[in-house]
Structure 1
Amino acid sequence: MSNKRGAPKQAAEPGAASLALAVHYAAPEPRLPRWRLRRWAGYALQTAAADGLTDFARVELSLRLVGLAEGRRLNRDFRGRDYATNVLTFEYGVDPEGAARGDVVICAPILAREAREQRKPFLHHAAHLTIHGVLHALGYDHLNKHDAQRMEGLEIQALARIGIADPYITA
């Protein structure tokens, strides 16, 4: 089964919440069309559902691609760090109707620079950052070793589903 672009449709994971994803382009990036970002976000959601995350019936996210100035401003204003970072996530929790909400911001120039520096294909790194950000929006974190191992494991699983190697292995 495939959609009109020829990409395979994702079968819903048992217990997976429905996904509403709004994509905003403050920085144009033709390699990251909405359908591709939605697909990666869906894989993150499916992986979280397989992990047992079923606290909600619906996930409502916005994903915004930004340039260096906006990425720096957001990181400075919300994290107190005066530089652009690759991905920022704002998790808002689950509302009374059972919808988990969050915003994911990806700084396109940082994504491109990191992919070059790490000698990774651009789309592989973009998929990783998208999945990482969505998992944060779903409540996963990496503040301690146990949580970091769990979150990284889910990222690795989601990426493997689309044929992308473990991003934490350095060559």
Structure 2
Amino acid sequence: MSITVHIQYAVPKASVPLQADFLRWVKAALVNQSKAGEITIRVASESEAAQLNWRYRHKEGATNILSFPFEVPSCVSLDVPLLGDLVICAPVVAREALEQTKKEQAHWAHLVVHGVLHLLGFDHQQEVEAQQMESLEVTILESLGYPDPYESV
């Protein structure tokens, strides 16, 4: 499996994980998938994340992550499949980690894994789907050495 991760920074790089970390988390989320391809991760400011959240979800305020799966039009053939884009709001991630007494790096890892699973078609709108997705997230994060993000601290 060959995966390329493009990182776009709309905030200072010093406040976010290293590119190597993003790549490791994406690859871990794709380990049981035969999908190869490209993912773009945009590390956004709070104002940008709020604008995107309103534009695409009609919800006010910034959210921690937005996932945009790429759907290839039937008339297009790509040599490298584009899996989609993730937009992660750095200030929200930092704030949530603090509020939830989680290590910030672990929270970043969780959100990247969560977002990649959305790009693969997983969802959590229904209880059964949520349980399946959360179980997979926990397994992937444990393989990376991170604790269960759903366990109360």
Same fold (TM > 0.5): yes
CA distance in structure 1 between the partners assigned to 2:146 and 2:72 by the alignment? 30
Instruction: Judge which range, 23-32 or 97-106, deviates more.
Output: 97-106
TM-superposed deviation, 1:150: 1.1
2:42 alignment partner, SS class:
strand
CA deviation map 1:115-138 (0-9, x unaligned): 000000000001000111111111
Return the TM-score normalized by structure 1.
Answer: 0.81
1:25 is the counterpart of 2:3: no
Match of 2:119 among 100, 121, 137: 137
- Superposed CA RMSD in Å reads 1.6
CA deviation map 1:19-58 (0-9, x unaligned): 1110000112424111111111111111xx2xxx44x4x2
CA distance in structure 2 between the partners assigned to 1:94 and 1:39 by the alignment? 25
1:90 is the counterpart of 2:68: yes
TM-superposed deviation, 1:94: 5.3
Return the TM-score normalized by structure 2.
Answer: 0.90
1:93 alignment partner, SS class:
coil
TM-superposed deviation, 1:82: 1.3
- 2:92 aligns to what? 110
1:82 alignment partner, SS class:
coil
1:35 is the counterpart of 2:20: yes
Letter in 1 for 2:83: R
CA distance in structure 2 between the partners assigned to 1:79 and 1:147 by the alignment? 20
- 1:45 aligns to what? 30
1:139 alignment partner, SS class:
coil
Letter in 1 for 2:151: I
5 Å matches for 1:148-163?
148-163=130-145
TM-superposed deviation, 1:100: 4.4
Aligned length: 148
The runs of 5 or more residues in structure 1 that have no matched partner are 1-16
The runs of 5 or more residues in structure 2 that have no matched partner are none
Q: Which fold has the larger relative contact order, with Cα–Cα distance below 8 Å and residues 6 or more apart in sequence?
A: 2
1:153 alignment partner, SS class:
helix
Distance 1:112 1:29, change over 3 A: farther
TM-superposed deviation, 1:92: 1.4
Contact 1:28 1:65 in 2 (8 A): no
Identical aligned residues as a percent: 39
